[in-house]
Chain A
């Protein structure tokens, strides 16, 4: 573990990967450390709004683990008719039907949010099934699109530009500021996709 100062009131802690980032983020919250924002990411956890020296001292008590606490399980119904389904099938060397079976057999974990409110980067796709992003992003990806990029899976909470490979769509609401919590898939949530 290495912590780098980010200006006068934040620390960026480098970790081994998304699972360790989630574990550290959960630990910081459990400990009740004085932090305004805890932002897990792929290889780091940002602790923002902190007294660096105090938090750095507290971090020494953390034992790195790649086993975050088990989060809630959310089932997301998907209609697998995305415009990149065939391209993903080709990349995986299987049929479109097999893409659906494979995708729906995995349990993903929301590693972190970013890009848009409620957009969760879902980890769980094995390395050999990684798919490249589109060469040029689409100007508009509809809300509810279920898409892949690299080893990540994501569901677009609102319509926006996007370069991920769309394999399907869902009607569930990913983001509602009036709901508690507002994100359907906050970091740590386990996610399975169910063919609708």
Chain B
């Protein structure tokens, strides 16, 4: 079966869990920015965790299926309709052949996820169906007029799932490898300050305005590998939190790293939203997270 896209809004992309493992060739990991929301959407329609979903930025998506199927919309909450009639958020919904599913502008948050039973079945690139918006590795962005193939459903929908806490807290910070390039205790300074999300934020990074971090070491840093959640500080002193499409190497010092469990919050922050940080508790004998 397939989905015909009639409108794709500001930016809609296909995303799964990304393509980690290719950084040494210069390939960003990509993948759903709000990974828990994408995972929930997949569970609701009975998909395996690695199935590809649609990531819709600030709504504006309209699709029509050519066969009856289960769909679920999670992440940023907003109007979801089928043929104009309201449907639920974060629950499996039956979409009949020919009916129009619309995901409107969210009331809060930025990115909504649309899972279809069977998963979006575009051709994988380097083992993933995710679109990376930095280098455009992966399938092209979803645009009006395209027809997206959908795979065969793997199992029945799962109407019951545990909702996640709705209120995001401060972003927990681990010390970065170049914290010593900054004056005083830069993590403490960040945890005491309030930042604002800047307009230029995207899948590459969450750009923050706030009190600039003062550098004590001048000179250039040789480019080095960057991790997901790295808080890089360019000469302006305004931090950038690296998200899924971040460049694999960078030449500005990384003062801190946002805890992986808090990255979904970054995916849902809008320009103008306030951001607070708090120190992450170092995990004793930390287990690998991936």
Contact = CB atoms under 8 A, between A and B. Distances in A.
Interface of A: 4-10, 12, 25, 34, 36-46, 48-53, 112-119, 158, 177, 181-183, 186-187
A183 B248 CA distance: 15
Contacts of B167: none
Given A112-B249, A177-B125, A182-B25, A117 B288 contact: no
A44 B222 contact: yes
Contact of A119 (B22, B26, B229, B259): B26
Contacts of B247: 114-115
B288 A49 contact: yes
A8 to B, nearest CB: 5
Nearest to B174: A7
A123 B8 CA distance: 44
A51 B249 contact: no
A113 B25 contact: yes
A118 B23 CA distance: 10
Given A4-B177, A37-B20, 19 more contacts: A5-B174, A8-B283, A8-B289, A9-B288, A36-B20, A37-B23, A37-B24, A39-B249, A41-B224, A42-B224, A44-B222, A44-B225, A46-B226, A48-B225, A52-B286, A53-B285, A115-B247, A117-B25, A117-B26
Residue in A6, A41, A46, A118 with the greatest tally of chain B CB atoms within 10 Å: A6
B175 A177 contact: no
30 contacts: A6-B176, A6-B257, A7-B258, A7-B259, A8-B257, A8-B259, A8-B260, A8-B283, A9-B286, A9-B288, A37-B21, A37-B23, A39-B224, A39-B225, A39-B249, A44-B222, A46-B224, A48-B225, A49-B288, A52-B286, A112-B24, A113-B25, A114-B26, A114-B248, A117-B25, A117-B26, A118-B26, A182-B27, A183-B25, A186-B25
Residue in A37, A113, A183 with the greatest tally of chain B CB atoms within 10 Å: A37
B287 interface: yes
Contacts of B258: 7
Interface in B245-264: 247-249, 254, 257-260
B288 A10 contact: no
A117 B137 contact: yes
A36 B137 CA distance: 19
B154 interface: no
* Shortest beta-carbon contacts, A-B, top 4: A46-B225, A7-B257, A39-B225, A114-B249
A37 B20 CA distance: 7
A47 to B, nearest CB: 9
A134 B280 CA distance: 42
Interface in B151-174: 174
Contacts of A38: 24
Contacts, number: 131
B286 A8 contact: yes
B26 A6 contact: no
A10 B227 contact: yes
A113 B24 contact: yes
A50 to B, nearest CB: 6
B230 interface: yes
Residue in B25, B125, B175, B248 with the greatest tally of chain A CB atoms within 10 Å: B25
Nearest to B288: A51
Nearest to A113: B26
A55 B22 CA distance: 20
B126 to A, nearest CB: 6
Nearest to A18: B222
A46 B24 CA distance: 10
Interface in B217-246: 222-227, 229-230
Given A5-B177, A114-B248, A46 B26 contact: no
A6 B255 CA distance: 10
B230 A114 contact: no
Contacts of B285: 53
Residue in B176, B248, B286, B289 with the greatest tally of chain A CB atoms within 10 Å: B248
B177 A9 contact: no
A41 B25 contact: no
Contact of B225 (A45, A118, A182): A45
Contacts of A114: 26, 223, 247-249
Interface string B259-290: 11000000000000000000010110111111
B224 A43 contact: yes
Contacts of B288: 9, 34, 49-51
Contact of A116 (B135, B225, B283): B135
